[in-house]
Amino acid sequence: CVCVCVCVCVCTSVFLRCVFAAHAVTFEVKDGNSTCIKADLNTSFSITYNTTNGTSAARFALPSAAAVGNGSSCGGGAGVPPELLVSFGAGHALTLLFSSDGRLYRVASISLQYNLSDTSTFPQSSSTGLMKVMTNVTEISARLNSTYRCVSPSTVSLSPEVNLTFSDVHMEAYMSGANLSTDESVCSADQTVTTAAPTQSPRTSAAPSPVPPPAPQRGNYTLTNRNGTACLLALMGLQLNITHRSRALNQMVSEVVNLQPNRTTASGSCGVTVATLVLTEDLTNLTFTFTLNSTTQKFYLSAVNVSAFWPDMTDRFVEGNGSLNFLQCSVGRSYVCSAEQTLSIVPSFSINTFRLQLQPFNVTASRFSAVEECRADQENMLIPIIVGVALAGLVLIVLIAYLIGRKRTHAGYQTI
């Protein structure tokens, strides 16, 4: 059970929940005698729900009585990933689904099932029954054969109403032994960062101009439905341009970094009107959100979020913009742009795209549909045509002028 004490604020119709402090609980998933997942989780929950008199915020910790549920699995054949399902209280369950690219493993999704019929946790709830929320956007990743460690609190939003906070986490998936590895992958929040003293006065020092790297390699990123068919296709080379405070120079610099496809994992979700593509490379996490406008029958890139912690950064860089309108294309077609494009997300962050082709909706037979070219490609095709027509027109003008001149010359002589 979840132990809470409840006090009611009558004047605001909002219930204030007093909870005991969270503490780490250990979970272990086995396949026979072999351990594949081991996790020490210190988790607290914050859930806003409707009551008969207004709204209430239920805040509680993962209880020590929580146990590994029947849905837990080490994965295995047919591409089934490892899964940790933690059951607690009256029908509540927390699920962590893992994935790996052969070099890193990560928490690919987090979901929570909570029971509004549990009156001890959700008193005076106006609804009953089970609710389920999930997210595919997480920053929990580690090297294979290493333990993910994050003592610092980290909050994950599953929905506007539901938030989880992890702290003092020690966890490993795809384990090769029975105990957590002594080799640790430490989260960015736990990494101590030292700032180098500036070599010049801040008034006179100038940030060096960024030296752009060569064009990035083109990555092939695909999301599939549960039945294994592709639901989102993306071919593109990506370059991230971030302005941040340099640890070495102690001043703001612009750094341009290529996303490397061979080190990048793709995850996300496909919906009827919203699709999400999450690209993760080491400590860089890039999330694209695509939206389908059912009125205009066009899709577009509506939001981009980035979280990065590069070697020269003093702090983790986190930025995003949810009011974008890039890469518009008709539904049932794939958006193509061979030309380099710059997507300005916020003043301190932009993305350069190279040889881009994507289709986040209505993918059939796991193939791109007919293409719809970007304006830059159309203009690139139009310029040679205009130049050719202009040259042809010039040649025609010269020819006509020559013929007129020759006729006048011939008319100036008389036969003797």
Tell me the pLDDT tens digit for each residue of 378-406. Answer: 665 556 666 677 787 788 888 888 778 77
The Cα 194–Cα 14 span in angstroms is 44
* Rounded average pLDDT over 131-141: 86
Mean pLDDT of 81-104: 92
306: which strand partners?
Answer: 286, 319
Helix (H, G, I), strand (E, B) or coil at 400: helix
Cα–Cα distance for residue pair 287/301, rounded to 1 Å: 11
Alpha helices by DSSP H, listed for 147-272, are: none
Question: What tokens appear for 44 in the block?
Answer: 């607290």
> For residue 78, what pLDDT band results from cuts at 50, 70 and 90?
low
Ramachandran quadrant class, 245 (left: phi over 0; alpha: psi -120 to 50; beta: rest): beta
The per-residue pLDDT for range 187-219, each reduced to its tens digit, is 877 764 333 333 333 333 444 555 667 889 999
Taking only Cα atoms into account, the Rg of the chain, rounded to an integer number of angstroms, comes to: 29
Residue pLDDT, tens place only, 142-191: 889 999 988 888 888 888 899 998 988 999 999 988 899 998 888 877 76
Quick one: tokens of 273?
A: 């009107």
- Is residue 250's pLDDT more than 60? yes
pTM of the model: 0.48
Find, among 51, 64, 63, the residue nearest to 13 by Cα.
Answer: 51
Give the pLDDT confidence of 294-315 residue by residue, as tens digits: 999 999 999 999 999 888 888 8
Question: What is the pLDDT at residue 306?
Answer: 94
